[in-house]
Each structure stands twice: as C-alpha cells, then as structure tokens.
Amino acid sequence: MHGFTPRYPHRELPLAPRYAALGRPYQVEVPATPLPEPRLVHFNAPLALELGLDVGETQNPELLAILAGNAPWPGYAATASVYAGHQFGTWVPQLGDGRALLIAEIQTPAGQRRELQLKGAGPTPYSRGMDGRAVLRSSIREYLCSEAMHALGVPTTRCLSLVASPAPVQRETLETAAVVCRVAPSFARFGQFEFFRHQGGKTALAPLADHVIAEHYPHLIDQPDRHAAWLGEVVERTARLMAQWQSLGFCHGVMNTDNFSVLGLTLDYGPYGFMDRFRQYHVCNHSDAEGRYAYYAQPQIGQWNCSRLLRACLPLLADDESQALEIATGIFERYAPVYAAAMERRWADKLGLREIRAGDLALVNDFLAILQRGKSDFTRGFRHLAKVRAADDDPAHGAREELLDIAAFDAWTVAYRARLRAEQNTDDAARAFAMNRVNPKYVLRNHLAQAAIAQAEAGDDGEVAKLLDLLARPYDEQPELEAYAEPPSEALSPIEVSCSS
C-alpha cells in the first residue's frame, strides 16, 4: 500500500468528522474485519462524481481495500453506533450497528456533508453474537433498490460500491460474503433517540439532537423551541415518505423504529418489494407472520413510529412532563393531514389530474379495487392509464388489456373520462407525458433482482450493471428492454424474502 488518498480531480477530498466528534457514548471505534479475496462487483461512478471522488481510481487496489474494509479511510477511524428500537412492535432496549461501520464523513464539491458506511464489514460490540457479515444476495438487493428509489425521486440512502468475496457465510444456507458502501447525509435513526432516552435522558439526548439540527436542519438552530420545530419536520418528512412508498407500490418489510431515519430517508433495505399484483394486504417479508408491515398498514406504522420518537424526546420539549406531552401531541397530530395531502396529490398526479376535487379519492379507490379483484399489476396498471383519452368514444386500447376485470374497467373509465373533461384546457398528449413522469415503466421487481443475484453468484456481474442502467431511467420507455417491464410469469415460483441476510 502506498497511502491511497481520496481526491477531487485535483485536490484532496476534505473530511468533515462532526458526528465522530460526539464521541462516546454515541459510538465506539471498531476496525473493520478484512475481507478475503475481494472483487469489485460494481462501482457507482455517477455517485462517486457527486461525492468528489476521482473515478479514474476505480481500478486502484488501494481503493478496493478501503471499500472492502481491508484498509481504513485515510485520517478517519471507523465507528459503530448504538441504538435501541421497537422491532415488530416489541421494545428492544439495545441494538446498534451490528455489521455496519461509519468509515468516513466527507464534504462534497457542492459543500454537502456525506457519511460513508460499510455494511458487512465484520462484528462490532452490537452484533449480538452474530458474524457482522452481509451476504452477496442481500447486498445486491440493497444496492439495486437504493439506486432505483433514488431514480424514482424517493428520499433514500444510496450505495457507492459493492464488493464480493468467496468467504463463506452461514444463513439459512451457506452463502458468500459481500460489503456495500452506503452513503447518506446521516444514518441517524429514531432508535438512537429511544436508546438515549433510557440511557441518560435529556443530558444524553440534547447533544445528539443538536448535532442533527446543526448539520441537517440549520435553519432551526437559533429558534428557542428548536427541538419541537425539528421533531415537527421529522414527522412531516416521514408522512411524505410514506405517501411516496404507497404511490409506487413499495413495501418495506422491516419498519422497525431502528430502521427509520430522522432525515426522512428510506433506510435499511432488508426484505422489501415492489408489488406485482395489487393487494392491499400484501406482505413482502415472510418473517412478518402477522402482517404488521403490510402495504395498507405502512402509513399507520409510520405515524406510530413517530409517536415513539416523540415519546423518546419528551425531555427535550419541556421539563414538565405534562407540558412536554401536550407539545408532543400537537406535533404528532401534524402527521395525518400532511400524509393525506401528500397522498391526494400523488394519486391525482398518477391519474393525470391537475386539480384535487371531491370524489377523486373514490375514483382512485375504485381503480385500486379493479386492480385487486382482477389480480392486476400495480405498476403497469397505472402506467397504461396514460393511454386513456378524454373522449367518450375512446376504447382505451393499451390500458384495458392490462386488466383482467375489463367490464369493471370500462365502467370506471366513464367516470374517469368525465373527470378528465372537467378540467379546463385538458390535452391528452400533455397529460400522458405528465403521467409517464410519475408512473414508472420499470421498477425493481423481485424476479429481476433474483436473476441478477443468480448470475453474480455464478461470477457474472453483468446483469447487476444492466439493471442499474435500466433503473436509472425508470420513467423512460427504453423499448429495447421492454421485457424488464413485464410482471413475473406464472411459471416462476413466488420469491420469498425474509430478515435473513
């Protein structure tokens, strides 16, 4: 090793170690466990350019060593953070970064602060007896989905690199190891505040909250009620995030409080899934036997998680508990109207409606009912609505063929067309263009991810790269890749995903 230094094209990449400055008890220094025989499966060059990294160094073995956890980021000591959480509704007093290490805090050329975290880099004090590793299967799924969600416009953590190794890892079967380098403005989560409420109260909560405010909500620094204002913004961001998930048919399989970001980011891609056939009770995680995190329940779970954060932060709101509860209740009550407004706007956009009017929600629900009764595809069903024209004599070719319950759809289009014509200056072509910018053509379906995983496990990383290129433009037609927009064939067995990774 010759001392690799991450750089902008012409100068050293500056560190911004402000979370590390908090020190104990918020994190502990933990060196990564070396990964044998690492190979670079994928390097996210567009993200690297945003970070200010020199993409010309992609083949540098010293960079690979850093991304594999075999060498430290120059000038930074890796750390793991402690947190608690409600897991499937049950309080767990101590969790933590059991296989994730914060390896760097940097400042990008645009002046933004970003944290880099290795997932799968070995055990930490919070591993609870586990090996601290991630497997290639789940690492590919996280890499693909975080970048797919980013391209869809959903706030999310992202992935810079994916490194594989032949090192064996025992899960339900024997698999091989991998390390993902995740990127986010912050990995701070609800569970950290839950932990420190029970481990020091206000004395421990305030430095963490003030760090988050200073770094990520700087407009609130000088407000006398900055903690209440910050929590209000977290609640509203969470509500809007849930609306985005719902409008895309995305299901997060482990919506525990330790997996919720105080920045309103989609965090921790374990078991997840974009629905194929629409089912309001769809559960994407077969470990979720009671369906706690089913599609229909996600908005309510988001709100419940916010209530846990607010309860944890009561000492920051007022010294008197009854007064703090009153403030927290007021903040909690902001969730429902923000979610409702965001959801109404998203459904309207998906139907091509510029205005929101009484009866629109019933129109949406009626269409969802048609999808559900006919076991029709959620993504394709909405995408092809752009082909419906406002004229009464239009047969809706290209849309009705997507639905099994054609008679119900034909009846529904009568009301839909009337609603389209109720808007002034309606233009079919302009509306179709706008609808195709909010209803994706391509999403990361489970069978697509599984095909990429199978090829990568056999040593061929080409499908991972191909999917990343496809999903970077989810709203574009890309006719040469039309097959990737198809739902899984009936011959394919349903793919089950679980918490095992």
The CA–CA distances, whole Å, from 387 to 5, 29, 277, 371, 395 equal 53, 56, 20, 17, 10
9: left (phi over 0), alpha (psi -120 to 50) or beta: alpha
The structure tokens 């064996």 sit at 168
List the binding residues for Mg(2+): 259, 268
Which pLDDT does position 1 carry in this prediction? 39
317 CB-side CA count, 13 A = 24
Place of tokens 């029709």: 376
Task: Give the residue from 319, 457, 438 showing the smallest Cα distance to 386.
Answer: 438
Candidate list 210, 222, 225, 258, residue with the active-site label = 258
Domain boundaries along the sequence of the chain: 20-187, 191-342
* DSSP-derived pairing of the beta strands 250-252 and 134-135: unpaired
Could you tell me how far CA 2 lies from the centroid of its own chain? 37
| Cβ-based neighbours of 464, under 8 Å, separated by 6 or more | 41, 42, 140, 143, 144, 162, 452, 455, 456
CB–CB of 488/445 below 8 Å?
yes
* Residues tagged in the binding site annotation for ATP: 96, 98-99, 119, 131-132, 182, 189, 268
Binding-site residue set = 96, 98-99, 119, 131-132, 182, 189, 259, 268
Classified as helix, coil or strand, 182 is strand
Give the separation between CA 43 and CA 50, rounded to whole angstroms.
Answer: 13
Output the six-digit token pair for 438: 């909010």
Q: Which among 376, 377, 257 is positioned nearest to 307, based on CA atoms?
A: 257
> What secondary structure letter does DSSP report for 51?
H
Q: Around Cβ 418, how many Cβ atoms within 10 Å?
A: 12
pLDDT in tens, 130-185: 999 999 999 999 999 999 999 999 999 999 999 999 999 999 899 999 999 999 99
Instruction: Please give the pLDDT value at position 501.
Output: 57
Spatial separation of the C-alpha atoms in residues 356 and 353, rounded to whole Å: 7
Q: Show the 3-state SS of 204-272.
A: HHHHHHHHHHHHHCHHHCCCCCHHHHHHHHHHHHHHHHHHHHHHHCEEECCCCHHHEECCCCECCCCCE
Tokens for 187, please give them.
């990995």
Are 173 and 59 within 8 A, CB to CB?
A: no
Residue 392 designated active-site:
no
Going from the first residue of the chain to its last (501 residues), give the mean pLDDT of each consecutive group of 10, the final group possibly shorter: 70 89 95 96 95 87 95 95 96 96 96 97 95 96 98 98 97 95 98 96 96 97 96 98 98 97 96 95 93 97 98 97 98 98 98 95 97 94 94 79 88 94 88 97 97 96 97 97 93 68 57
Query: What are 203-241's pLDDT values in tens digits?
Result: 999 999 999 999 999 999 999 899 999 999 999 999 999
Residue 293 CA, chain-centre distance (Å), reads: 15
Task: Please enumerate in sequence order all residues whose Cβ is within 8 A of that of 143, keeping only pairs 6 or more positions apart, or say none.
Answer: 42, 159, 162, 180, 464, 468
